[in-house]
Amino acid sequence: MVYASAFRANAVADKIDGQVSMANTSLDILRQKLSAKQAVIGIVGLGYVGQPLALRYTEIGFRVIGFDLDETKVQELNAGHSAIEHIDDTRFAEARQNGFEATTDFSRIAEADGLMLCVPTPLNKYREPDLSFITDTCEKIADHLRPGQVIALESTTYPGTTKEEVLPRLEKNGLKVGEDIFAVYSPEREDPANQKFTTNTIPKVVGGHTEACLQAGIALYEHAIDKLVPVSSTETAEMTKLLENIYRAVNIGLVNEMKIVTDRMGIDIFEVIDAAATKPFGFTPYYPGPGPGGHCIPIDPFYLTWKAREYGINTRFIELAGEINTSMPNYVFSKLASALNERQKAVRGSKIMVLGIAYKKNVDDMRESPSVTLMELIRDNGGNLSYADPHVPVFPKTQEHVFDLSSVALTQKVLAEQDAVVLATNHDAFDYDLIKEHANLIIDTRGIYRTGEPHIIRA
């Protein structure tokens, strides 16, 4: 499909006060369709971010089409299964009844009035941004775009991506952004398994390429999200998301360093944080652990590091926090090794169980989980490794990490058989009293146990 001057020539006939108002015409039609809930919503990328958005728009009465390359995922969603543990299947079964459908057929992009792109933004093996998912998606959808659509990128990325990488691809067949179609960057702030906030109660930042694009973005989101935060440009919106995640990464790095210092000094870091958090201003508590994981905190900051180099700037806070955070599994392993050593044992040959291998509590997401690094350290040093995680029944095989392991049920006997257990992820489903009572040695990375019992070691 090529849209060029022919489409705009028609539009020129549509004049208000003698002014060419192509953008207004497209924008007005789009707005009307969205407010009447007659607009079709297309979600591209049906993962942790795309699925909640698809559900939200379906639940408020829009017809939603989900696009993904993964045929199996599309079939599962169409059968009413989410495949993400914290998203209840009943919601997708209901969404199906209300018109939601998933497809791998990208020619159907033309059916959607509002498109949200929720594809991955990982780092490549040189730890540089891998924008291939975004650029491939844009190439794929560009052939099916038509006038009057708003396209919002939701993936986390560096400032300039929308303008430099998305726009030229969307315009490749002659459609003009800001006139025929509208381009928006609106970062996703989804926090999987967070019980306090849902998709609609998390305020949403929106930046448009032009004023008309911003208005189209507001029209797209205002029905689904309680509070919108319009900003002046797509770059501002892109940077806002990075600042949020860099702020977390740096503070987690800081508190992890404080944990190492306080441990050496014989001070309880959790008691310190709790006391500091009583200050009613100027302090936000962050908690130490075995290192951050997930698709965001270990990755997103380096998107800025890469882009900042173009401007001759080294992002030292980001590098330092990254260094500290990625070293945390080694720190935990060293505490485990020395605790075993004190008990006349070596890692080699000891039975060691990791409790919690998802990257954070109450989720099944294993991406960038520090527990996996810890497991590799234990295995590579000859430990007799097992794990327990009610959210990850079988260790998912990836190219980088291979363990032929399944989750072990925690019983008195299983716990008592271990030389050590490493409490890596503080899932609510664990019976912490049972663990405390029957494990011989607990390496506690989450500050679950506040007592000074000799078989509990903080790490």
Residues with catalytic roles: 296
Q: Which is nearer to ligand NAD, 132 or 411 (CB)?
A: 132
Binds ligand NAD (CB under 6 A): choice among 155, 256, 262, 425: 155
Binds ligand NAD (CB under 6 A): choice among 59, 70, 165, 319: 70
Instruction: Give the C-alpha separation, 297 to 319, whole Å.
Output: 13
Token pair in block for residue 435: 């663990």
Instruction: Give the C-alpha separation, 344 to 235, whole Å.
Output: 57
Instruction: Give the C-alpha separation, 118 to 103, whole Å.
Output: 15
Binds ligand NAD (CB under 6 A): choice among 55, 131, 142, 296: 296
Binds ligand NAD (CB under 6 A): choice among 27, 44, 102, 218: 44
Binds ligand NAD (CB under 6 A): choice among 133, 270, 359, 387: 133
Site for ligand NAD contains 237 (CB under 6 A): no
User: Phi-psi region for residue 344, left (φ > 0), alpha (ψ -120 to 50) or beta?
Assistant: left
Q: At what angle do helices 22-35 and 211-221 cross, to 10 degrees?
A: 10
Taking contact as CB under 6 A, which single stretch among the options 64-72, 278-286, 338-346, 432-440 is the one that binds ligand NAD? 64-72
Among residue numbers 182 through 201, which ones bind ligand NAD (CB under 6 A)?
A: 188, 190, 192
We find the least distance from the C-beta atom of residue 196 to ligand NAD, in angstroms, to be 15
Site for ligand NAD contains 233 (CB under 6 A): no
Site for ligand NAD contains 303 (CB under 6 A): no
C-beta atoms surrounding 413 within 10 Å: 8
Binds ligand NAD (CB under 6 A): choice among 7, 57, 67, 359: 67
Site for ligand NAD contains 118 (CB under 6 A): yes
The count of chain residues that interact with ligand NAD, using the rule CB under 6 A, is: 28
Site for ligand NAD contains 48 (CB under 6 A): yes
Site for ligand NAD contains 162 (CB under 6 A): no
We find the least distance from the C-beta atom of residue 293 to ligand NAD, in angstroms, to be 11
We find the least distance from the C-beta atom of residue 370 to ligand NAD, in angstroms, to be 16
Q: Which is nearer to ligand NAD, 42 or 288 (CB)?
A: 42
We find the least distance from the C-beta atom of residue 65 to ligand NAD, in angstroms, to be 12
Binds ligand NAD (CB under 6 A): choice among 20, 29, 69, 123: 69
Token pair in block for residue 53: 């958005």
We find the least distance from the C-beta atom of residue 113 to ligand NAD, in angstroms, to be 18
Residue 97 makes CB contacts below 8 A (sequence gap 6+) with: none
Contact yes or no for 407/389 (Cβ under 8 A): yes
Among residue numbers 408 through 437, which ones bind ligand NAD (CB under 6 A)?
A: none
We find the least distance from the C-beta atom of residue 422 to ligand NAD, in angstroms, to be 25
Site for ligand NAD contains 45 (CB under 6 A): yes
Binds ligand NAD (CB under 6 A): choice among 31, 40, 47, 286: 47
Judged by the rule CB under 6 A, the positions of this chain that interact with ligand NAD are 44-50, 67-70, 73, 118-121, 133, 136-137, 140, 154-156, 188, 190, 192, 295-296
